Structure 1
Amino acid sequence: MNVLLLGSGGREHAIALALAKSPLLKELFLAPGNPGMASLGHAVALDAADHSAVVSFCKIMGVDLVVIGPEGPLVAGIVDDLAAAGIKAFGPSKAAARLEGSKGFSKDFCRRYNIPTAAYARFADAHAAKAYVREKGAPIVVKADGLAAGKGVVVAMSLADAEAAIDMMFAGGFGKAGEAIVVEEFLVGEEASFFALCDGSRALALASAQDHKRVGEGETGQNTGGMGAYSPTSIMDAAMSERAMREIVAPTLEGMAEMGAPFKGVLFAGLMIGEKGPKLIEFNVRFGDPETQVILPRLEEDLLALMLACVEERLPERPLRLSPQTALSVVLAAEGYPDAPLRGSEIRGLARAEAMPFISVTHAGTKREGLRIIADGGRVLNVTSLGADVAEARARAYAAIEAIDWPQGFYRRDIGWRALKRA
């Protein structure tokens, strides 16, 4: 099969590594890819926002399957446009992608189909939103309705913070994404990420992970797209995973099908695990970043075959095979991230890190200048390791980071701290 993978980040690099193992793969096209993916396929100068150009490329090159990494093209309906041209694509339709594309739609959907989630209200003006937060009190969560690159959520610990977040969003702090907002209850518990593969009517549990959203150690500082992750997480044991499938994933598939928008692809449920079990924080309709970097190394299956089974509505009825090992990934970010990351610094020593056993390095925000690898984003690299448990995987990951020479980068030194605290 010829496969086109859309995206350029660490998630897409991890997907490319998994796809490259498939005996079904003939040619892998990367649009646009990144320097770390260069040996895995053919880089293509395609803009995923230009759906007609993507369709034309697929027809010319005989692409059998398109795999969409980021959420933007999914929410914009690229799967629909590809399907209309007779081209298979792994990911949900535009209608199904509303689960991520609109926080308000997602919350209303949960209420309609009795999916456990935080109490909430939707607003289109600041005055009404502020009156609501004064009534409810802090802590409280303020979310931009639309896509905001993983940064459209403010956990306000005081009323002043909540009102400032409301003003910021309605003043255009997140562009069109903040033209409407959701204000919701602050949930108490421990966060986990849960992934399921879906073929429109059936779902298979894939894996759990735990992300580290805050930029600073000990979960301090601003929210980010994620500073590291590990998989599996012990709070998602077999019983909790079964509850997540029964109480969240299954009714989501049933509800979307009932609404005429069957969900195909990977469903990512961000969960809060509290005393009463799992509650949904939010849906994503694609693989997470950096969770993908720790889930796919554990997958003992042909990822390409599974993606095709999702599209063709024929997922296997058996559980998926996953390694019992723990995978842990640490994000190396550019100085100044998440506000104003410093671009242009050279990164050395990548080959030393990549040569270490049990280690993979995925690129998230780099470019190549001659023989040099240059930082060109906020989250720049992911160093991922495998180990018997979190402690071993973490030790290996940080040892590999020490082999990388990049003074202008930084990283959290406490990835996996919750798991180690429980151990």
Structure 2
Amino acid sequence: MRILVIGNGGREHAIVWKLKQSPKVADIYCAPGNGGIAGLATCVPIAVEDVDGLVAFAKEQRVDLTVVGPEVPLLLGVVDRFEQEGLKAFGPRRQAALIEGSKRFAKELMRKHNIPTAAFASFTNAEEAKAYVREQGAPIVIKADGLAAGKGVVVAQTVAEAERAIAEAMEEKVFGEAGNEVVIEEFLSGQEVSLMAFLDGKTVKPMVVAQDHKPAFERDKGPNTGGMGTYSPVPQIPAEVVEQAIDTILWPMHEAFRQEGIEYKGVLYAGLMITAEGPKVIEFNARFGDPETQVVLPRLETDLVEVMEAVISGTLDELSLSWSEQAAVCVVLAAGGYPGSYEKGWPISGLESVPDGVVVFHAGTKRRDCGIVTAGGRVLGVTALGADIKDARDKAYQQVKTISFKDMHYRTDIAAKAL
């Protein structure tokens, strides 16, 4: 098989790495890819937004399967377009991907179908939004309605902080058009957990759970990021709570799509808060999470190509997923200044020797004549497998110590909650 993977992040490196293990795969292309993906696949300089270019390339190279990594092309309707051209693509169509593209759409769908989530209100007028915040009090959560690369959420501890977040999103347009509308939610307390599943329009097959670390600094301080590290399994969340989430959130969401006339095929990501009343949805994403994929796919023992083909053909019920008992921990190495402004182009050292059981997934990197250099905010994700969380964590941090680039920063407490 010839496969095209769309994207250039750590998630896409993990997907390419996993697909490469399948005996069904002959060639992998990645558009546009990154410095690490280039060691496993042929990178082609086509932007993720260039739907015409992606279609033309897939036809020209007789690609058998295209896997869509990030959310932007999904919301541009890349899967719809590929299907119209008679090409196989893994990922939800545009209408289904709105579950991530519009937080208001997602919240209204959950409210209509009684899926447990935080109480909310949405606003297109900044003054009305601020008045609502003053009425509700803090802590309170402010979300840009559209796509904001994982950074459009502010958990405001004071009313003043909430008003500031509204002003930034709606008046100063720090997230562009994504902030034309804001969704304001009640603050939920508890532990967060990421639960992803494969859906084929008829069946839900959950993956193993992971826990992400969103804030930039130790002890969950600092601004939200796209994710500073993850681990799987999440031993402090009882198995029956995960089962409850599957029964009260994943299957009902699948049924909600069906009732709304939306065929959902691909990965559905549920970001959950485990509250005193049980699991509640913080957000849905229409694709593999990043950096959750970097700990979930290394634990998948079933051939990923077979899973994706079953999703596309609607035969997921005939496939059983097998998962490793090993634990996985991923530590993200970020550029100085991230999630704010940061410099690019710094050489990275220490990537040459990586022991068995450890994988360094590249996110913001480029290959230059001088070697691999930084090219993004989240630069690398160091993933280690181990007998348990402590073992995997020790191996990951041991590897982190061998890698360096100018102003590199990372959290030292990834997976500490599990211990």
TM bracket (short chain): over 0.9
Identify the range of structure 1 (233-242 vs 393-402) with the bigger mean alpha-carbon deviation.
233-242
Q: Alignment partner of 2:281: what SS?
A: strand
Q: In the alignment, is residue 39 of structure 1 matched against residue 68 of structure 2?
A: no
Q: Do the aligned partners of 2:203 and 2:317 also contact (CA within 8 Å) in 1? A: no
User: 2:404 maps to what in 1?
Assistant: 405
- CA-based RMSD: 1.1
User: 1:127 maps to what in 2?
Assistant: 127
How far residue 370 of structure 1 moved from its aligned partner, in angstroms, is 0.4
How far residue 39 of structure 1 moved from its aligned partner, in angstroms, is 2.5
| AA at the equivalent of 1:401 | V
User: 2:153 maps to what in 1?
Assistant: 153
Describe the superposition over 1:202-257 as per-residue Cα deviations: whole angstroms up to 9, x where unpaired.
Answer: 11011100000011001001100000000111244331222111111111111112
Q: Do the aligned partners of 2:361 and 2:381 also contact (CA within 8 Å) in 1? A: yes
Identify the range of structure 1 (363-372 vs 272-281) with the bigger mean alpha-carbon deviation.
363-372
Q: Alignment partner of 1:233: what SS?
A: coil
Q: Which runs of 4+ in 1 moved over 4 A?
A: none
Paired with 2:110 and 2:190, the residues of 1 have a C-alpha distance of 19
Paired with 2:107 and 2:320, the residues of 1 have a C-alpha distance of 29
User: 2:99 maps to what in 1?
Assistant: 99
Paired with 1:179 and 1:405, the residues of 2 have a C-alpha distance of 39
| AA at the equivalent of 1:362 | F
User: 1:115 maps to what in 2?
Assistant: 115
Q: How does 1:304-383 map to 2 (within 5 A)?
A: 304-317=305-318, 319-352=320-353, 354=354, 356-383=355-382
How far residue 405 of structure 1 moved from its aligned partner, in angstroms, is 3.0
User: 1:295 maps to what in 2?
Assistant: 296
Unmatched segments (≥5 aa) in structure 2: none
Taking every aligned residue pair, what percent have the same amino acid on both sides?
51
How far residue 416 of structure 1 moved from its aligned partner, in angstroms, is 0.5
How far residue 371 of structure 1 moved from its aligned partner, in angstroms, is 3.5
Q: How does 1:155-304 map to 2 (within 5 A)?
A: 155-171=155-171, 172-304=173-305
Q: Do the aligned partners of 2:82 and 2:89 also contact (CA within 8 Å) in 1? A: yes
How far residue 369 of structure 1 moved from its aligned partner, in angstroms, is 1.6
Paired with 2:263 and 2:243, the residues of 1 have a C-alpha distance of 22
How far residue 308 of structure 1 moved from its aligned partner, in angstroms, is 1.0
Describe the superposition over 1:74-100 as per-residue Cα deviations: whole angstroms up to 9, x where unpaired.
Answer: 011111011111111110010000100
Describe the superposition over 1:102-121 as per-residue Cα deviations: whole angstroms up to 9, x where unpaired.
Answer: 00000000001110000000
Paired with 2:147 and 2:237, the residues of 1 have a C-alpha distance of 27
Paired with 1:389 and 1:104, the residues of 2 have a C-alpha distance of 39
| AA at the equivalent of 2:373 | I
Q: Do the aligned partners of 2:307 and 2:319 also contact (CA within 8 Å) in 1? A: no
Paired with 1:351 and 1:17, the residues of 2 have a C-alpha distance of 17
Q: Do the aligned partners of 1:193 and 1:269 also contact (CA within 8 Å) in 2? A: yes
Q: Do the aligned partners of 2:366 and 2:374 also contact (CA within 8 Å) in 1? A: yes
Q: Alignment partner of 2:100: what SS?
A: helix
Paired with 1:405 and 1:311, the residues of 2 have a C-alpha distance of 41
Q: Alignment partner of 1:11: what SS?
A: helix
TM-score, normalization by structure 1: 0.97
How far residue 342 of structure 1 moved from its aligned partner, in angstroms, is 2.0
How far residue 173 of structure 1 moved from its aligned partner, in angstroms, is 1.4
Count of residue correspondences:
418
TM-score, normalization by structure 2: 0.98
Q: Alignment partner of 1:96: what SS?
A: helix
Describe the superposition over 1:285-323 as per-residue Cα deviations: whole angstroms up to 9, x where unpaired.
Answer: 100111000000000010011011111111035642111
Q: Do the aligned partners of 1:345 and 1:408 also contact (CA within 8 Å) in 2? A: no
| AA at the equivalent of 1:194 | L
Paired with 1:407 and 1:344, the residues of 2 have a C-alpha distance of 10
Paired with 2:136 and 2:407, the residues of 1 have a C-alpha distance of 43
Paired with 1:3 and 1:414, the residues of 2 have a C-alpha distance of 37
